[in-house]
Amino acid sequence: MAERESVGIVLLGLGVVGSGVARALAEHAETYADRVGARIELRKVLVRDATRERDFAPDRSLITTDAAEALGTDCDIVVEVMGGEDPAREYIQKSLSRGRWVVTANKELMAKYGPELRAQATAGGVDILFEASVGGGMPIVSPLRRDLSANQITSVRAIINGTTNYILTQMTREGAAFDDALRQAQDLGYAEADPASDVEGFDSAYKISILSSLAFHGHVRVEDVYREGITDLMPRDFRYAAELGYSIKLLAIGQRDADGVCVRVHPALVPKDQLLANVDGVLNAVQVEGDLIGRVLFQGAGAGSMPTTSAIMADVLEASRSIVHGSRPSPWRYTADMAMKPISQLTTRYYIRVEVSDRPGVLAEIARACGDNGVSIASVIQKETDDEAQTAEIVIMTHAAKEADLQRSISQIEGLKDDVRKVGALLRVED
Amino acid sequence: MAERESVGIVLLGLGVVGSGVARALAEHAETYADRVGARIELRKVLVRDATRERDFAPDRSLITTDAAEALGTDCDIVVEVMGGEDPAREYIQKSLSRGRWVVTANKELMAKYGPELRAQATAGGVDILFEASVGGGMPIVSPLRRDLSANQITSVRAIINGTTNYILTQMTREGAAFDDALRQAQDLGYAEADPASDVEGFDSAYKISILSSLAFHGHVRVEDVYREGITDLMPRDFRYAAELGYSIKLLAIGQRDADGVCVRVHPALVPKDQLLANVDGVLNAVQVEGDLIGRVLFQGAGAGSMPTTSAIMADVLEASRSIVHGSRPSPWRYTADMAMKPISQLTTRYYIRVEVSDRPGVLAEIARACGDNGVSIASVIQKETDDEAQTAEIVIMTHAAKEADLQRSISQIEGLKDDVRKVGALLRVED
């Protein structure tokens, strides 16, 4: 095969991440050429607004607002960093159909259409790489695809949303209320003006759908991910959790057992001596458990222009090496139909905070509601009492119980109208 | 290209790790076939003693004590898990020259002959993969080769010897003496009868030579790795370190700055709020710092049959996929000559423990010895005093100083014959 002089790149998007990629390509050009064996050449950049100021802008002649021009440019790799479903999906499909490799940071797209895009890439003898879609620069997609591939993975437990982890860390350290911690995160640029995607757990749900699909070799659809956000957490839940020896984290979990695969995103109590309990601030971390390896942990900056650029460029260099050396990518093989296990079949321990009337007999009623449904109580602590309002608050830790039984207990407790003001918090405990 | 039905494996060695590989190949056969697109077939196993009992033994007909027979068996991949330099090196060279891919767990070999073996593999259109040579099952070789390859790596800081980390953890937690902690480690099977390779830092030196060569794209020779073991550490150093807010860890460090690359293995004080300070027991962890990614941490079981099998099988599956899909491996490119920076040019902070005569003026003499050589003292604490022997002990923390200046200060302090009994400990501080 003739030596190749260059590998051509078309970049779709020039926001925070796109600018980082353009800058890395310019500033590391020599190193990358050395590592790949050919120059990596930026040939066109698609932007929405050609007049906007950029962190780093490549040569004006490379910039276009015309998608057809960008997609029609002769190149080997298309790097998609626009985000969102449309028109990113269409652009990627077109690129794959023209025999281009695709590198994308698009979690929403990979969560929803990963299997079909990967199948299209395989059919065309190319690949779609998406390390940057989860965990910023922290390697996790490639380790699951390659380094841990000899394992039967049993679980993936992840803190993969830096915004919410920052908010929870502030609520833990400073006893801040959710709204105040959110405002702080917004002031620091960690949270968007509309924070729903982060704080309601959508972002984590996309990412755990991607990681679980890789870990379990099947497609975990976003609709099959159980999801709860962090907006209802109260400062006192953090205080009580700490007293009991736990941190509260927004966990994204994929678990496989004999009954199937259960994938979920929700705040959880994590024992303080576990690694994940101590991953603070905007850091991300993923803990993978497999039959051979036991437990392995990856930790790093989960977002930001430079870390995300690190992940995108790793994929670009990998694709470039394959292109230069004429390697065909190995197709990804999904195993046969995978049984999904709904959260109602989950078995775990629970933390329940109930606001009650401060009078005798209440606890007995609540205990009965649990017992009637097969939920066994491990400990009960009476917390604050408000003499004026004649209310008290009790915190219950259960033994391992089935989610469906637990939910029935909660309904019954909520039905104790005279005695129970409300169930203030229901959190799963991840041991 | 015709579909391939199988990929043939010859296994050299059937010890703890070799048995794990044979077991995984047998027990995961279907899954691996599914992931690769062809059966992975064990065709021959070379052992020294065919009569020995094994954890897991493949079919008798596969076992041979005849190296020529094993190496002459028709196969695609040779897996070397014998360890040691000879005859492993010769067997690997022969295998590569016959166009076979090689997967090895041999740290000594890769540290000493990595570049020439990799060059031979590249020349033959195959590859030599060595994930298992460092960190057991924890992925670190492949992340450095691939996932972090877009970065200029500035440092690799690692706890990569589980035996010494177990010993140091026991000395920290239980105030144990080195000999007692070593005996405990031996009783638990964590340390060999002859522990020199671990406790003198040779094992860590091989591994950091491999990681630094990958990180800095040059060959860091084992002879260029500065090395100190943990045998001289005293229980009171752990106590004093804890009082000052540090843990003591055996760190393996590769660092690049404008002056060159400095690679070293020695016990060090690590601030307790750093991740590496809290990696306890037999766990391994590697923290990599790069210009794009910032800091990223990998943590997992650094040894053991199953974790090491996880790493070897990841390489076997990778090689198998390449073989099945007719991919050529990308050659590894070493950059031009890399300047090595000797430890004498290192600048860091130091912890010094000196046993002195308990009389006035001693501290002034020691302070002068430091000042004369340009070493600035940050704090001095007088620790235990032995009234009977009329000795005292002082602990000095310095500001950042050059190693050469520090060593001259130590010589001068040791020359204060009347006042100084001995310099009991000299430890670098890694902030």
Q: Is A207 a catalytic residue?
A: yes
**Mean pLDDT on B205-212:** 98
pLDDT at residue B2, rounded to an integer: 56
pLDDT in tens, chain A (431 residues): 457 899 999 999 999 999 999 999 999 999 999 999 999 999 999 999 988 888 888 999 999 999 999 999 999 999 999 999 999 999 999 999 999 999 999 999 999 999 999 999 999 999 999 999 999 999 999 999 999 999 999 999 999 999 999 999 999 999 999 999 999 999 998 999 999 999 999 999 999 999 999 999 999 999 999 999 999 999 999 999 999 999 999 999 999 999 999 999 999 999 998 889 989 999 999 999 999 999 999 999 888 899 999 999 999 999 999 999 887 787 777 766 789 999 999 999 999 999 999 888 899 999 999 999 999 999 999 887 778 888 899 999 999 999 999 999 999 999 998 899 999 999 999 98
Angle at A116 between CA A110 and CA A118, to 5 degrees: 70
How far is Cα A174 from Cα B260, in angstroms, rounded to an integer?
A: 43
Q: Note whether A31 contacts B142, CB cutoff 8 Å.
A: no
The minimal CB distance from B325 to the residues A35, A297, A330 is found for A330
**Mean pLDDT on B379-391:** 84
User: Which residues 21-40 on chain B approach chain A with CB closer than 8 angstroms?
Assistant: 24, 28, 31-32, 34-35, 37
pLDDT at residue A2, rounded to an integer: 56
Please count the other Cβ atoms lying within 10 Å of the Cβ belonging to residue B422: 11
Nearest CA in chain B to A148: B314
Assign A58 to helix, strand or coil. Answer: coil
pLDDT at B213 over 70: yes
Residue of A275, A287, A330 best to disrupt the B interface, most CBs of B under 10 A: A330
**A310: contact with B, CB 8 A cutoff:** yes
Q: Render pLDDT for B317-353 as a digit per residue (tens, 0 to 9).
A: 999 999 998 877 877 777 667 899 999 999 999 999 9
Assign A191 to helix, strand or coil. Answer: coil
How far is Cα B145 from Cα A102, in angstroms, rounded to an integer?
A: 21
**A326: contact with B, CB 8 A cutoff:** yes
String of DSSP letters for A195-215: -HHHHTSHHHHHHHHHHHHHH
Q: Which residues contact A411 (CB under 8 A, 6 or more apart)?
A: none
| Distance from the first to the final alpha carbon of chain B | 55
How far is Cα A310 from Cα A131, in angstroms, rounded to an integer?
A: 10
CB B394 within 8 A of CB B383: yes
Angle at B372 between CA B371 and CA B375, to 5 degrees: 45
How far is Cα B2 from Cα B7, in angstroms, rounded to an integer?
A: 14
Q: Give the E-state strand segments of A47-145 in sequence order.
A: 63-64, 77-80, 101-104, 128-129
pTM over 0.80: yes
The minimal CB distance from A146 to the residues B142, B324, B326 is found for B142
**A325: contact with B, CB 8 A cutoff:** yes
Give whole-number Cα distances, A19 to A57, A81, A103, A109, A311, in Å: 7, 10, 15, 21, 14
CA A151 to chain centre: 22
3-state SS string for A246-306: EEEEEEEEEEEECCEEEEEEEEEEEECCCHHHHCCCCEEEEEEEECCCEEEEEEEECCCHH
pLDDT at residue A417, rounded to an integer: 86
**Mean pLDDT on B38-59:** 92
**A318: contact with B, CB 8 A cutoff:** yes
Identify all chain A residues contacting B307, using CB atoms and an 8 Å cutoff: 292-294
Alpha helices (runs of H) in B37-147, residue ranges in sequence order: 67-72, 88-97, 107-123, 141-142
How far is Cα B120 from Cα B114, in angstroms, rounded to an integer?
A: 10
Residue type present at position B162: G
CA B420 to chain centre: 36
How far is Cα B207 from Cα A96, in angstroms, rounded to an integer?
A: 41
Tokens for B280? Answer: 């306890």
Residue type present at position A428: R
Write down all domains in chain B, each with its CATH number in brackets: 6-137+305-324 (3.40.50.720), 141-301 (3.30.360.10), 346-429 (3.30.70.260)
B245: left (phi over 0), alpha (psi -120 to 50) or beta: left
Q: Note whether B333 contacts A146, CB cutoff 8 Å.
A: no
User: Which residues 261-280 on chain A approach chain B with CB closer than 8 angstroms?
Assistant: 275, 278
CB B351 within 8 A of CB B425: yes
pLDDT at residue A303, rounded to an integer: 84
**Mean pLDDT on B128-136:** 96
Identify all chain B residues contacting A335, using CB atoms and an 8 Å cutoff: 34
| Distance from the first to the final alpha carbon of chain A | 55
Please count the other Cβ atoms lying within 10 Å of the Cβ belonging to residue A41: 15
**Mean pLDDT on B352-356:** 95
How far is Cα A317 from Cα A310, in angstroms, rounded to an integer?
A: 10
Q: Which residues contact A199 (CB under 8 A, 6 or more apart)?
A: A163, A164, A167, A182, A191, A229, A230, A231
How far is Cα B237 from Cα B427, in angstroms, rounded to an integer?
A: 9
**B162: contact with A, CB 8 A cutoff:** no
Q: Note whether B148 contacts A310, CB cutoff 8 Å.
A: yes
Give whole-number Cα distances, A278 to A247, B191, B286, B421, in Å: 8, 30, 17, 43
The minimal CB distance from A137 to the residues B152, B293, B333 is found for B293
CB A178 within 8 A of CB A231: yes
How far is Cα B22 from Cα B57, in angstroms, rounded to an integer?
A: 7
The minimal CB distance from B296 to the residues A137, A295, A312 is found for A137
Identify all chain B residues contacting A217, using CB atoms and an 8 Å cutoff: 35
pLDDT at residue B336, rounded to an integer: 61
How far is Cα B329 from Cα B248, in angstroms, rounded to an integer?
A: 41
Angle at B114 between CA B113 and CA B118, to 5 degrees: 120
pLDDT at residue B206, rounded to an integer: 98
User: Of A44, A107, A207, A249, which is the active-site residue?
Assistant: A207
Identify all chain A residues contacting B333, using CB atoms and an 8 Å cutoff: 34-35, 37
The closest of B412, B411, B424, B379 to B398, measured between CA atoms, is: B379
Crossing angle of the two packed helices A362-372 and A403-414, in degrees rounded to 10? 150
Q: Which residues contact B369 (CB under 8 A, 6 or more apart)?
A: B409, B412, B413, B416
Give me the active site residues of B, please: 207
CB A335 within 8 A of CB B37: no
CB A259 within 8 A of CB A154: no
Nearest CA in chain A to B278: A275
Give whole-number Cα distances, B28 to A74, B33, B89, B129, B194, in Å: 44, 9, 29, 21, 35
The whole-angstrom distance between A309's CA and the closest CA on chain B is: 7
The whole-angstrom distance between B279's CA and the closest CA on chain A is: 10
**A169: contact with B, CB 8 A cutoff:** no
String of DSSP letters for B364-399: HHHHHHHHHTTPPEEEEEEEEEETTTTEEEEEEEE-
Crossing angle of the two packed helices B202-216 and B107-123, in degrees rounded to 10? 30
Q: Note whether B143 contacts A146, CB cutoff 8 Å.
A: no
Q: Give the E-state strand segments of B113-259 in sequence order.
A: 128-129, 153-159, 226-227, 246-257
Q: Which residues contact A332 (CB under 8 A, 6 or more apart)?
A: A118, A122, A145
How far is Cα B345 from Cα B260, in angstroms, rounded to an integer?
A: 10
Q: Percent of chain B beyond pLDDT 70?
A: 99
Residues facing residue A127 across a β-bridge: none
Please count the other Cβ atoms lying within 10 Å of the Cβ belonging to residue A360: 7
Q: Give the E-state strand segments of B272-419 in sequence order.
A: 283-290, 294-301, 347-357, 377-386, 391-398, 401-402
String of DSSP letters for B63-85: EES-HHHHHHS--SEEEE---SS
Tokens 């014959």 belong to B417
